[in-house]
Chains A and B, each alone.
Chain A
Amino acid sequence: MNSLLLHIAKNEWKSLLRGKWVVGYGLIFLLLTDSLLRFGGGGPEALLSLSNVMLLFIPLVGMIYGILYIYQSREFIELLLTQPIDRKVLFWGLFVGISTPLMLAFVIGSLLPLGWHGILIKGAAASAMVLGLGAVLTLIFVSLGFLFGLTFYDDRIKGFGFTIVVWLFLAILYDGLVLMLVFMFGHYPLERFVIAVSMLNPIDLARIMVMLEFDVSALMGYTGAVFNRFFGSNMGIIIASAMLTLWLAMPAWIGLRVFKKKDF
């Protein structure tokens, strides 16, 4: 079963590399990271800028890529479905085959410049965090793309539209809503609420983890005891990682369920 999964994944990798698309994606990150380090003074600020780009684009690219794949390889998927292959194995094979090259393109593309500019050694923890978060976000959003592709299997316009709206919502509008809520209910103790609400959005989660790594001195200045406990200890990182793992599991699991039950 595992060898079959690997076989499907390998097949995907081959066709992806032939498409050169993933290589280009990796090169973009390579150029971006290198120029950020070259012109940004080579300090921790470069990692911050990289994480900004990562937080904005990885979700978009991941989702578009996931949904595009489902639409483009319709015939291929349907052909495979006629074979005596467990649907679960097929789903995971496709998912692993698609998401890992994308993830690796980002990680390697950013890792190399970080390495030759010496940031990997100077800021090992911060680099690991930014790269790790990028990898996890890729997985989350590819699986979201898969999910939307499977749900809107026959209506591509709707599928793409939905993807863009979801990205816009999670990446930008969500924080506007949070800010609005904070101002609407400003007279109540909001710390717990605000932390909880931010945890519901994977992009915010990743952002908060970056923030915990880079802006601790600012955060320690906040007077609320709840914030201080959350940010001041490893608790914040642990809770955020747990939530991120949940985000990793949920769309993949739902996607699998849809895939299993779907009448293609």
Chain B
Amino acid sequence: MITTFVQAQIIVSPNASITSIQAGIDQAAAGDTVVVYAGTYQENNIEITKPLVLMGIDRPVIDGNNEGTILVIRADSITVQGFEFRNTGRSYIRDYAAILIDQASDFIVKENHLYNVFFGIYLAETDRGKVQNNRIESYDRREASSGNGIHLWYVRNPEIIGNRVEGMRDGIYLEFAENARIHGNISSKNNRYGLHYMFSNGGTYYDNTFRENGAGVAVMYSEDVDMKNNLFEHNWGPSSYGLLLKDMRQSNIEGNRFYKNTVAIYSESSTNIQIKRNQIEQNGWAVNIKSSSARNYFTENNFIENSFDVRTDSPRNNNLFEGNYWSNYEGYDLDRNGTGDVPYRPVSLFSVIIEKQPESLILMRSMFIRLLDTAERIMPVLTPKTLYDEQPKMHRIQ
């Protein structure tokens, strides 16, 4: 009677009687802990089909020998902690991963290091799992032959916390993920997106850092997504964006910092997005908003020293800019209420010219262009007449 309640410990070590992780798992009963001591284990397609804890002591290495997936989790309530995974298989047909969690719930994957992997941690049809404090690094520079760091597919209530992902295709990828909570992660130098959000409603991500990714961060085809206090920086390139929004609805972008990106926020076909209290600083273009976007609300943001503030492709405007601080604003405040007395027009004539004829970028900051811009600001003809901030703040918003 008593023994069924005591959790047994199975020891796996190169010097113990059990030298293979799979053998250790096979011998364990549900609820046991399998403790793996330091060493290198050449294994792949390890399968766990019962609830247990797989614990690495002094970070044992599981080397997949470039074949297949390394570890597959197929039961609920499994914890995997403290391992180093190396060398998964690579394939153009199958998504080999270091850790695959397949149709399981309540799992915890934490404090693992993953090097030279195709996909890192792969969640398929899971519920309530936690992926925490892992490091994933790979150095395949080709987009087609690299996989995603943390890949979520048909997942409910996942928590992705404090991971570092570097050099993958997408750092964190979500497709049909419901209610995801993603925070405290650092996703950098990935070939494509630092975070890629697809068809995933009701999620939130905050306090993350997305740095030097090939194409920045993309959030697409989703609604009710909260994006707060993240840092988007140094995403440079012809098709790189701090944050790309496409077909998004009813979401919040609040308190983020966008620093030195080619385009800080790019929006296409997105509606009812609140962009509030963000620091948008020293980017090439602060906002590139396509005319397919409507009813988006920009308020209380600081637009500081961006080369261009807003760019758009149509003379009409369906979005609202109100009460932002623009460092390029040259108006005055006679009644001293902190709000400028003349509206600010963030779309300069020059950005309209560039939209038509990109080569003219070489004339940036020339006297001639400045004269044109000033004339246009006084008498808007070519720039969108209705795109202006009627209450530009005189001072930075704290």
Interface residues of A (CB under 8 A from B): 41, 43-45, 48, 52, 55-56, 171-176, 178-179, 182-183, 186, 190-191, 194-195, 198, 204, 207-208, 210-211, 214-224, 227-228
By beta carbon, the residue of chain A nearest B235 is A217
Distance of A210 from chain B, by nearest CB (Å): 7
* Interfacial chain B residues near A174, Cβ < 8 Å: 368
User: Are A218 and B284 interface neighbours, CB within 8 A?
Assistant: yes
By beta carbon, the residue of chain B nearest A189 is B359
Range for the number of chain B residues in contact with chain A: 20 to 34
- A171 CA to B365 CA in the complex, in Å? 12
- A211 CA to B362 CA in the complex, in Å? 9
Further 14 A-B residue pairs, CB within 8 A, beyond A219-B361, A224-B358: A44-B305, A171-B367, A175-B363, A175-B368, A178-B360, A191-B359, A194-B360, A217-B261, A218-B364, A220-B236, A221-B240, A222-B238, A222-B361, A223-B239
User: Are B357 and A215 interface neighbours, CB within 8 A?
Assistant: no
- A173 CA to B357 CA in the complex, in Å? 19
User: Are B359 and A221 interface neighbours, CB within 8 A?
Assistant: no
Contact status of A208 and B284, CB under 8 A, knowing A182-B357, A228-B238: no
- A216 CA to B237 CA in the complex, in Å? 10
User: Are A211 and B305 interface neighbours, CB within 8 A?
Assistant: no
User: Are B305 and A208 interface neighbours, CB within 8 A?
Assistant: no
User: Are A172 and B238 interface neighbours, CB within 8 A?
Assistant: no
User: Are B365 and A52 interface neighbours, CB within 8 A?
Assistant: yes
Distance of A226 from chain B, by nearest CB (Å): 10
User: Are A210 and B262 interface neighbours, CB within 8 A?
Assistant: no
* Interfacial chain B residues near A207, Cβ < 8 Å: 365-366
Distance of B283 from chain A, by nearest CB (Å): 6
Closest 10 CB pairs of A and B: A218-B284, A218-B307, A175-B368, A221-B262, A217-B284, A175-B366, A220-B236, A190-B359, A223-B238, A215-B307
User: Are A198 and B236 interface neighbours, CB within 8 A?
Assistant: no
Partner of A219, one of B240, B284, B359: B284
- A196 CA to B246 CA in the complex, in Å? 38
Partner of A194, one of B359, B369, B371: B359
Which residues 133-167 of B have a CB within 8 angstroms of A?
none
* Interfacial chain A residues near B238, Cβ < 8 Å: 220-223, 228
User: Are B360 and A179 interface neighbours, CB within 8 A?
Assistant: yes
- A221 CA to B351 CA in the complex, in Å? 13
* Interfacial chain A residues near B367, Cβ < 8 Å: 55-56, 171-172, 175
User: Are A208 and B262 interface neighbours, CB within 8 A?
Assistant: no
User: Are A178 and B362 interface neighbours, CB within 8 A?
Assistant: yes
Distance of A241 from chain B, by nearest CB (Å): 17
Distance of B355 from chain A, by nearest CB (Å): 12
User: Are A221 and B284 interface neighbours, CB within 8 A?
Assistant: yes
* Interfacial chain B residues near A222, Cβ < 8 Å: 238, 358, 361
* Interfacial chain A residues near B359, Cβ < 8 Å: 182, 186, 190-191, 194, 224, 227
Quick check: is B353 within 8 A (CB to CB) of the other chain? yes
Distance of B244 from chain A, by nearest CB (Å): 13
* Interfacial chain A residues near B370, Cβ < 8 Å: 52
- A236 CA to B367 CA in the complex, in Å? 21
Contact status of A218 and B262, CB under 8 A, knowing A171-B367, A173-B368, A211-B364: yes
- A224 CA to B371 CA in the complex, in Å? 27
- A178 CA to B50 CA in the complex, in Å? 72
Contact status of A217 and B362, CB under 8 A, knowing A55-B367, A172-B371, A182-B357: no
* Interfacial chain B residues near A52, Cβ < 8 Å: 365, 370
Distance of A161 from chain B, by nearest CB (Å): 20
* Interfacial chain A residues near B327, Cβ < 8 Å: 41, 45
User: Are B366 and A204 interface neighbours, CB within 8 A?
Assistant: yes
Distance of B397 from chain A, by nearest CB (Å): 14
User: Are A217 and B353 interface neighbours, CB within 8 A?
Assistant: no
